[in-house]
Chain A
């Protein structure tokens, strides 16, 4: 109901405008009728009076003629009397006229009437009417005729014309005023409408801005909170992994596994919450890199095989032969969707199998459409809950959450990813018979076939599969884990003879978190010669200006001076002194596309995402080694 007053205000204004316009138009019309009526009356008056005056003058002239005849003995007294009667009747008509007659003419008529009265006895009753009398009377009536005529000429030609003009003008002026009023009221109405519309718009804009600001604040808050949680979690997980690499009893190893598992679940929950906030604020960004979809999908499914085996569920993958060798898009997000669907399927399937079928649609104008369907023989989903499972924090029922765990955000995020990729995520299911989720995405065709992404670089999700692998205490050679990611690598001090080669002689480790530095030191142990630590950008710049490093691991988000500013200063110094560029690798949780672009623009060579996995550090070091060897 808050809309009602605004609506009624607008309605009232419109009604008022319509009524005002109606009144104006009606008065315009009635005024027009009035003016026409006035003009008609004026014309009638003018013609009527013309007639009566001319008839009077005519009768006077006839009287003159008869008087002349009488003088000459050609007319008798009766003729005279009849003509006098006729003239009397004209006088009577003029005096009794309803027409408007000018005062000067009325006075002239009065004079004529007085003349006739004065002569009446002589004409009608006197025993004798001498020709001399007739001549006298003739001169007098002739003078009256001339007077009336000249008055009438002036009246008719001058006064009446002026009157007509004035009438027309007064009508016209009123007409004009009404027309101006109409236009003015129309303009007023439109102005008011525009003003109100402008106000409403401004109010709306303000509300929208406020809402957007609130949403931005929420996103920023979430990002900050997640960062603050990740950093200590990074320490916990890193240390737990390091701990698991030391000689442990079976019981201790079990405890460490639980620790790592719990930490990794926490990481994935944070990731999900962050993702959903991005989805809701419309900030979900997609990468645009070339990759091999088949390899990516096979890798994804392989990660879940151990879990499937553990549950005794058959997990199969069928990839269409027509799948292109290379497409361009966001492989990480694509994997995220598939991982989510497969892990869900395994969660809810206790017997039978999970079947993943990937097929390519013929390449169209929009790009290469890919459909990934994941079918299971699990518990299925009731029709009434099928729509609900895509809502955030929703699972089929409250009991499911307890049984299956998870945040209930996976499907919401997956559907949003699919939709942003130009497709959708849909489900078909029958309770007790299983479910089929179909994810459809549209990817761009890649120009080159090169696989530029590195499979293990998939972020926190890759922790999960490694968990279920029974952890053997092995002595491994120095190598990055292949496929499994974080294969356990025994630290150098424990192996003695097989001490790894020192990959980096001098290394600058920049991070404001002591935990992170500690974790990194553990990862680097035995592989870096001298490690100098800095707790913020300023310290890092000082250190880098003092001595040359082979590698700088640079945190980005730090107090006082951030990693970007520090890198810029170091690069500036290098240019000034003509030194060779030091390899600077950003180590950060902020790895959104635009952020990475910004890092590179400011002189950062590579980016490693937090939480840091040992494998990535090892891969970096081995890259440096081979680079040096070349």
Chain B
């Protein structure tokens, strides 16, 4: 396989720089989320009640890694049909993210860096303990490793045979739009 020389920090910083122009600006509204200090790796928009900006402009919430680390961070071991054997994933739960932005809606459109997108029911977040995985087996995932965020549905070895959520398990996630 390819070499592992590249450290995550490099990737993330480069990636962050590339999207910096599209950032939500440097608003510091008391009611909103704090503005991200590091590179933005996730942007949430649509039917949300809380953004980074002031109360009048709650349309967009952007996250860097440390903001995501402050959410309901979990470490799980699970199987996926894209990997072999049990894998350890770590990251905030999708539910905690949706709480943080006060999302209101039935579904959300999750979009990857390259524009690939998929529709995920909002209810899945609570029903299936969906994780926004940032680390795999103790290491932050690079883009080439399906990072920076991989939507993971915890499943047993038997459950993956049915491939129930293969479509929803989008990797290289960069944007979520909640549809109200």
Q: Which chain A residues have a beta carbon within 8 Å of chain B's beta carbons?
A: 55, 58-59, 62, 76, 78-79, 81-82, 85-86, 88-89, 91-93, 95-96, 98, 113, 116-117, 120, 124-125
Q: Which of B1, B11, B18, B81 contacts A92 (CB 8 A)?
A: B1
A302 vs B116: C-alpha distance when bound (angstroms): 127
Q: In the complex, what residues of B have CB within 8 A of residue A82's CB? A: 14-15, 18, 113, 143
Cβ-defined contact, B145 with A81, below 8 A? no
Q: In the complex, what residues of A have CB within 8 A of residue B124's CB? A: none
Find residues 1-30 in chain B having any chain A CB closer than 8 Å to their own CB. 1-3, 5-6, 10-11, 14-15, 17-18
Q: In the complex, what residues of B have CB within 8 A of residue A116's CB? A: 2
Q: In the complex, what residues of B have CB within 8 A of residue A55's CB? A: 116
Cβ-defined contact, B18 with A88, below 8 A? no
Cβ-defined contact, B14 with A78, below 8 A? yes
A116 vs B11: C-alpha distance when bound (angstroms): 17
Q: In the complex, what residues of A have CB within 8 A of residue B83's CB? A: 96
Query: Per-position contact with A for B78-117: 1 when CB-CB < 8 Å, else 0?
Result: 0001111000000000000000000000000000011010
A76 vs B81: C-alpha distance when bound (angstroms): 36
14 inter-chain pairs at a CB distance below 8 angstroms, sorted by A residue, are A78-B17, A79-B18, A82-B18, A85-B142, A85-B143, A86-B144, A88-B2, A93-B82, A95-B1, A96-B82, A96-B83, A117-B2, A124-B6, A125-B5
Chain B CB within 10 Å — which of A79, A82, A116, A117 has the most?
A82
B79 to chain A, nearest CB (A): 13
B154 to chain A, nearest CB (A): 20
B41 to chain A, nearest CB (A): 12
Q: Which of B10, B14, B114, B145 contacts A62 (CB 8 A)?
A: B114
Q: Give the bracket for the number of chain B residues in contact with chain A.
A: 20 to 34
Q: In the complex, what residues of A have CB within 8 A of residue B116's CB? A: 55
Cβ-defined contact, A86 with B143, below 8 A? yes
Q: Which of A58, A89, A96, A124 contacts B172 (CB 8 A)?
A: A89
Q: In the complex, what residues of A have CB within 8 A of residue B84's CB? A: 96
A76 vs B18: C-alpha distance when bound (angstroms): 9
Q: In the complex, what residues of B have CB within 8 A of residue A91's CB? A: 2
Closest 9 A/B residue pairs (Cβ) = A88-B144, A85-B143, A78-B14, A89-B144, A78-B18, A85-B144, A78-B17, A81-B14, A86-B114
Cβ-defined contact, A113 with B114, below 8 A? no
A237 to chain B, nearest CB (A): 109
Closest to A62 in B: B114
Closest to A92 in B: B144
Supplied contacts A117-B3, A124-B6, 4 more A-B pairs, CB within 8 Å: A59-B114, A76-B18, A88-B2, A120-B2
Closest to A84 in B: B144
Q: In the complex, what residues of A have CB within 8 A of residue B146's CB? A: 89
A210 vs B172: C-alpha distance when bound (angstroms): 96
Cβ-defined contact, B3 with A86, below 8 A? no
Cβ-defined contact, B172 with A86, below 8 A? yes
A420 vs B78: C-alpha distance when bound (angstroms): 96
B117 to chain A, nearest CB (A): 13
Cβ-defined contact, A120 with B3, below 8 A? yes
Q: In the complex, what residues of B have CB within 8 A of residue A117's CB? A: 2-3
Closest to B83 in A: A96
